Amino acid sequence: MNENGTDTRQRILQAAQELFFSYGIRSITMDDIARHLSISKKTLYRFFEDKHQIVDTLTRFEISDSVRCSLDIARQAKDPIDEILQSMEYMTKKLAGWHPSMVYDLQKYHPKSWDEFRKFSEEHMLNAVIRNLKKGIRQGLYRNDINVLVLARLRIEQVSLAMNPHVFPPAKFELRKVEMELLNHFLQGILTLKGRKLLDQHEVKYKSKKQKNVA
């Protein structure tokens, strides 16, 4: 594919992502994407067979970006608690830009893409949580009597649970707030006294940072 073709493909993906984030996946058609870009449907179908292929491609991009950011956060975080808080901040910023039906649409209408996301959760995210828990125990921040494998899986399922529209309907619950509430519940169950003090210090810094950003 020549450079111009590559640029067009990227423009299509960017436009589709903007529309999905604004209106949800299900409500957007290939016609909508073509119209948004002021290109013909023939041109659109030259790059993508259908909407499923666009969603699959965007899902893989999102996963790659999440892996990269996760590794960056783990490298520069001051401690395991800071890593968890930074990871949640990254997630909540991402979720803030999503239409409330995004996750539900992905689950119900694009199962292949959802399976890719679940695989990412069960592999990369699970290993990241296990690594974080073990490091936190070594540093005296997390209780040394916790079952790391059990709680790591619990944490992954908490993230997925918050995205379940049957448990937390988007019309009644804000996904970002649900995720934060579940994270707080998780941390309060594993922290030592030393860990709680450090969490309080981090929360003061995060609140101060948010206030400066608002100002």
- pLDDT tens track, the chain, 215 positions: 444 678 999 999 999 999 999 999 999 999 999 999 999 999 999 999 999 999 999 999 999 999 999 999 999 999 999 999 999 989 888 887 888 888 889 989 999 999 998 888 888 999 999 999 999 999 999 999 999 999 999 999 998 898 888 899 888 998 888 998 999 999 999 999 999 999 999 988 777 666 566 55
User: What pLDDT shows up at residue 204?
Assistant: 86
**Domain edges within the chain:** 1-48, 50-214
Residue in 162, 158, 160, 130 with CA at minimum distance from that of residue 146:
130
State the number of CA atoms in the 13 A half-sphere of 87 facing the CB: 26
Q: What is the pTM of this model?
A: 0.84
**pLDDT at position 40:** 96
The reported pLDDT for the residue numbered 3 is 44
Calpha distance 142→195 (Å, rounded):
6
How would you write 69-107 as a 3-class SS string? HHHHHHHHCCCHHHHHHHHHHHHHHHHHCCCCCHHHHHH
Q: Which residues pair with 13 in a beta bridge?
A: none
Architecture of the domain delimited by 1-48: Orthogonal Bundle (1.10)
Distance from C-alpha of 162 to C-alpha of 186, rounded to nearest angstrom: 13
pLDDT, position 103 = 85
CB atoms within 10 A of CB 72: 12
Return the pLDDT at 156. Answer: 92
Tokens of 196: 């709680």
pLDDT in the model for residue 207: 73
Homologous superfamily assigned to 50-214: Tetracycline Repressor, domain 2 (1.10.357.10)
